[in-house]
Homo-oligomer: A and B are copies of this chain.
Amino acid sequence: MNFLDQCLKVKEASTELSVMTEAEKNKLLLTFADQLVQDADFIIRANESDIEEAIRNKITPSLVDRLRLDRKRIEDMAQGVRDVAKLADPVGLTLEEKTMPNGLHIKKVSVPLGVIGIIYEARPNVTSDSAALCLKSGNAVVLKGGKEAILSNTAIVASLQKALKSCGMNQNFVYLIEDTSRETTNQMMKLKGVIDVLIPRGGKSLIQAVVANSSVPVIETGAGNCHVYVDESADIEMALNIIDNAKTSRPSVCNAAETLLVHEKIAPLFLPRAAQRLAEKQVELRGCEKTREILGESVIPASEADYETEYNDYILAIKIVKDVKEATTHIRNYSTQHSESIVTQNSGNAEYFTSHVDSAAVYVNASTRFTDGGEFGLGAEIGISTQKLHARGPMGLKELTSYKYIIHGTGQIR
């Protein structure tokens, strides 16, 4: 069966899935989790073939590491699926309810989005993870993984198909696209009316290509050029801990800090200590002229491009600003609207920062690293939205739903 026909089958099946009870969906997820563990050897063998191929193709070791599955990782995947089963069903909730003067009873009820398309790269755990979140929220799912992981992904979806079958459910609830070429991605982006929303999970270039070319609505996720601003009145110890944590606890993730903004009055005191602290982790600093006056010429001069870059690495751009106003202006100009933090003891400046910075998560005296579905109490997340339409920030099950109005009357006409 070809790609389009298969997607149409998923669309058709999505109605059936949208009206499934919580118990049915949980049964499916728990069966899937058990099946994953049972099929672990098979999945690992498929994964080994992917890895051999990746090594032949001279893929970088860090990518090979992200690709690799072992029994522990498969058990973690299964546990992830079980954790999703435990989350409350986001579908069928009455969000608002009212009776109008003409007697019409209007109820706003949460419903699944329908068919969600996930376009992702090399990590096979995204397959089970995304499928579980979509299914629990009543959405059918079309998965387009990277070519490096195709055999692993196929094996994981085979376990899910077995689970669907043993639960007596429609196997078209989930479809993994076998053809991993870019051409298929382009076709997916044109399936408006079949796929209800596309969520690209991966690097910046993937996300930008999807946003620019898709006629299916897209939720942008993941790009994080995050800032920490150390205000004049900051507690210096707190500021040191926060920038250290935000930059170095996990530099490769989207909520890591990329630029440090420092109030000019505190800079002479704070920056030398920050430089010392960050040197322990071999963080490369790239600073503005004033930063270099304080820290010396070992600091690389920062260019415009530095302030625009999400390094995802042990590199930090630094800029000295004259006040909170200049800090927020810099952030508005350079940020990807993901996460920003102010370290301050001045509540007026904190209020100015939180109201004038237009990002998904705005922190006062805490690390940007907390922007995460788990840390926000959502249980799990399918990504972190950096757009303002639909969902913003960490997206859990609720963010995978829409709503409809159900109106009961007794013959009302207008």
Contacts and interface: CB of A to CB of B under 8 A. Distances in A.
A375 interface: yes
B409 A100 contact: no
A192 interface: yes
A226 B406 CA distance: 15
Interface residues of A, number: 67
A367 B412 contact: yes
A382 to B, nearest CB: 14
Contacts of A404: 358-362, 392-393
Nearest to A402: B388
B405 A376 contact: yes
27 contacts: A15-B358, A19-B356, A100-B375, A100-B376, A106-B376, A106-B377, A113-B388, A114-B358, A196-B389, A197-B388, A219-B389, A235-B411, A238-B411, A241-B411, A245-B413, A249-B413, A362-B407, A363-B408, A363-B409, A364-B408, A365-B410, A366-B407, A366-B412, A389-B389, A390-B390, A392-B402, A392-B403
Q: Which 9 A-B pairs have the closest CB atoms?
A: A366-B409, A245-B413, A388-B402, A238-B411, A369-B414, A390-B390, A366-B412, A217-B389, A361-B405
B113 A365 contact: no
A interface: dominant SS:
mixed
A211 interface: yes
A354 interface: yes
A283 B241 CA distance: 74
A102 B225 CA distance: 25
A212 interface: yes
Contacts of A355: 18-19
A197 B389 contact: yes
Contacts of A114: 358, 388
Interface in A355-400: 355-356, 358-367, 369-371, 375-377, 387-390, 392-393
Interface string A187-229: 0000010001100000000000001100101110000000000
Given A192-B211, A242-B413, A104 B389 contact: no
A111 interface: yes
Interface string A239-283: 001101110010000000000000000000000000000000000
Contacts of A411: 235, 238, 241-242, 365-366
A114 B197 CA distance: 22
Contacts of A376: 100, 106, 405
Contacts of A215: 211-212
Contacts of A371: 405
Given A358-B111, A361-B405, A388-B402, A366 B104 contact: yes
A73 interface: no
A98 interface: yes
A412 B215 CA distance: 41
A332 interface: yes
Nearest to A11: B332
Nearest to A220: B217
B413 A377 contact: no
B113 A389 contact: yes
Nearest to A101: B377
Interface string A285-314: 000000000000000000000000000000
Contact of A407 (B15, B361, B406, B408): B361
A245 B241 CA distance: 67
A414 B361 contact: no
Interface in A326-363: 332, 350, 354-356, 358-363
A202 B329 CA distance: 36
Contacts of A365: 408-412
A244 B295 CA distance: 79
A189 B235 CA distance: 45
